């Protein structure tokens, strides 16, 4: 009798352990075990989710997804192999003997075909054959091929974005995969009376950009023209709305067809995938004078009535710095200095401001940091450390030497000079759109603009830069009847710390002053070959072509009677002889 309580306690203890174990199995491990059981008694075929489309501002598809189907056969589930092989061979155009050999193998599953069309798949399944299954497979395509290559980017074999918008907005573009689940026995045979379940995939969201495919085609044409005329190392062109920061077009050379990504040539792949407009810096040359003039006028150290004497050079810190016009411009006022791009005027402007004040303006313009544009790999400009700037350095910075900036940064900074003095934030995407067209999210957060320069300074700069196009070095960018402002740039390149003889970057930064087309255009031609390399000769006429086509496309009404081209031939160097610029 004394042993009975001990036996009862032991029994209670062991039964308690069993109950605890059962609770653990049912509650804690329940989901895991159910998944294992489901995996043992079912087969599932993946159903890839269609990737969202990338659209231009008008809804044109820039990157789309096409659905194809993969066909599988489970040999254990096929009752009449001859019949199945015959039907598959007829529909897909295969050799019956090859199909029969595949579906006769002692394996659980064989892949018969990939990238089958919906029409072919419907034919197969309307024949009511057993043991045949399908899964969805989506592949990315780009309707325009070699078009916006750097900005759109591409996807990898796994369907995820690798570069460009495809990478930056991958989390929105990527959908949720589905599956087709079939009940089977332990060796993979479909159960008699078993059920199949279809878990539909969820498509990714569409991304609507600020890009305009129509204007992109215009810009791509200008880039191709630059390549044909000058056989350059590289060409890049950016079009942006300088009032909102919306990027309208971005075209670059060299490039490649997004439907045929050169994965077997890694050097070409990496170099042509990277956007030089956001990921590379360049010496801007005389286009930088836009910022020097705006800063000096806004600060009040210069006025349009100031007069200068240019003898062809200035001596700063004992070093002779030449104007591009070595014989000098003589006595000129500030407006004439901007119009003729006199280096001496801009050296005097920078020196009058001093390093601290000039650098403060450049910081406010955003040039000393990234713009925050929604593209992968953006870098920031390079400047001499403020406490290390010598007087001779400051003088050179005034006319665009001894600095390096990104093209997107240059466009952003100079937009504030033109638009009334307000900062803008470059961006590529307007919003995220659902499959039914509803707006899901506005991913670009509009930041509050700040004033960089006064409105009256901006108005003065618009007038001065318009004179550059109507009377000065930017004549090639002019369009009859329309107001265009801008500045040419020609910068020598450096290699290993020394000037690279015969290598230049030719550029033009223009701004349409028409309300119906408030677009800035930056054209950069890197190392044009031949004796023609000035920004006024190379880049400005290309920008003029772009504006002419944009005004026609948008049916912008003429705003004046200006006849810039009268007696002026952009292809005749003699017509440019007084307007070229070249910094030594």
Distance CA 507, CA 287 (A): 8
Return the H-helix or E-strand segment holding 257.
none
Distance CA 63, CA 211 (A): 13
Distance CA 68, CA 139 (A): 8
138 contacts 68 by C-beta, under 8 angstroms: yes
Distance CA 461, CA 475 (A): 17
Distance CA 84, CA 129 (A): 6
Distance CA 42, CA 121 (A): 23
Q: From the candidates 77, 167, 286, 549, which is the catalytic residue? A: 286
Distance CA 477, CA 501 (A): 27
Residue 286 annotated among the catalytic residues of the structure: yes
Q: What tokens were used for 121?
A: 């798949």
Give the up-direction half-sphere exposure of residue 511: CA atoms within 13 A in the CB hemisphere: 30
DSSP conformation letters of 147-183: SSHHHH--B-TTS-B-SHHHHHTHHHH--B-EEEEEE
Helix then strand count (H, E) for the chain reads 19, 21
Measured between alpha carbons, how far is residue 568 from residues 271, 479, 574 in Å?
Answer: 38, 12, 10
Nearby residues of 96 by Cβ (< 8 Å), 6 or more positions away? 85, 86, 89
Catalytic residues: 286
């Amino acid at each position: 009798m004394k042993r009975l309580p001990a036996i009862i306690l032991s029994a209670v203890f062991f039964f308690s352990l069993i109950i605890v174990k059962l609770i653990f199995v049912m509650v804690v491990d329940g989901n895991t075990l159910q998944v294992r059981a489901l995996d043992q008694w079912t087969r599932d075929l993946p159903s890839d989710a269609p990737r969202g489309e990338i659209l231009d501002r008008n809804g044109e598809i820039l990157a789309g997804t096409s659905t194809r189907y993969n066909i599988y056969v489970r040999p254990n589930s096929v009752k009449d192999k001859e019949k199945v092989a015959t039907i598959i061979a007829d529909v897909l155009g295969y050799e019956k003997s090859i199909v029969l050999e595949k579906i006769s193998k002692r394996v659980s599953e064989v892949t018969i075909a990939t990238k089958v069309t919906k029409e072919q798949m419907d034919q197969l399944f309307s024949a009511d054959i057993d043991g045949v299954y399908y899964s969805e497979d989506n592949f990315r395509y780009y309707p325009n091929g070699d078009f916006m290559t750097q900005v759109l980017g591409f996807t990898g074999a796994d369907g995820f974005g690798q570069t460009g918008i495809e990478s930056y907005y991958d989390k929105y573009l990527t959908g949720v995969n589905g599956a087709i689940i079939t009940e089977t026995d332990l060796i993979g045979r479909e159960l008699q009376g078993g059920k199949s379940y279809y878990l539909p995939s969820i498509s990714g969201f569409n991304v609507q950009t600020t890009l305009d495919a129509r204007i992109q085609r215009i810009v791509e044409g200008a880039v191709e023209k630059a390549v044909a005329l000058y056989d350059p190392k590289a060409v890049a062109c950016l079009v942006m709305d300088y009032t909102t920061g919306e990027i309208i077009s971005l075209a670059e050379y060299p490039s490649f067809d997004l439907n045929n990504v050169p994965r077997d040539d890694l050097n070409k792949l990496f170099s042509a995938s990277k956007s030089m407009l956001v990921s590379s810096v360049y010496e801007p040359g005389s286009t930088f004078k836009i910022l020097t003039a705006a800063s000096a006028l806004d600060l009040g150290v210069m006025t349009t009535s100031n007069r200068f004497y240019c003898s062809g050079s200035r001596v700063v810190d004992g070093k002779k710095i030449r104007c591009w016009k070595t014989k000098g411009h003589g006595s000129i006022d500030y407006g004439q200095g901007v119009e003729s791009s006199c280096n001496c005027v801009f050296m005097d402007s920078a020196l009058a401001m001093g390093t601290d004040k000039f650098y403060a303006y450049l910081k406010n313009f955003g040039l000393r940091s990234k713009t925050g544009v929604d593209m992968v790999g953006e870098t920031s400009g390079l400047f001499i450390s403020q406490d290390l700037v010598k007087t001779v350095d400051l003088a050179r910075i005034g006319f665009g030497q001894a600095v390096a900036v990104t093209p997107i940064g240059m466009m952003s900074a100079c937009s504030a000079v033109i638009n009334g003095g307000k900062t803008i934030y470059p961006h590529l995407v307007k919003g995220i759109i659902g499959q039914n067209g509803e707006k899901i999210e506005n991913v670009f957060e509009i930041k509050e603009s700040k004033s960089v320069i006064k409105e009256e300074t901006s108005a003065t700069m618009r007038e001065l830069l318009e004179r550059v196009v109507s009377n000065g070095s930017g004549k090639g960018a002019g369009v009859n009847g329309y107001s265009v402002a801008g500045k040419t740039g020609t910068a020598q390149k450096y290699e290993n710390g020394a000037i690279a003889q015969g290598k230049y970057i030719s550029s033009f930064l223009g701004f349409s002053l028409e309300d119906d087309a408030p677009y800035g255009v930056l054209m950069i031609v890197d190392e044009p070959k031949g004796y023609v390399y000035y920004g006024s000769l190379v880049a400005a006429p290309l920008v003029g072509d772009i504006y002419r086509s944009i005004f026609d496309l948008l049916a912008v009404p003429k705003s004046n009677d200006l006849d810039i081209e009268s007696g002026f031939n952009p292809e005749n160097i003699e017509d440019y002889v007084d307007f070229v610029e070249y910094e030594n």
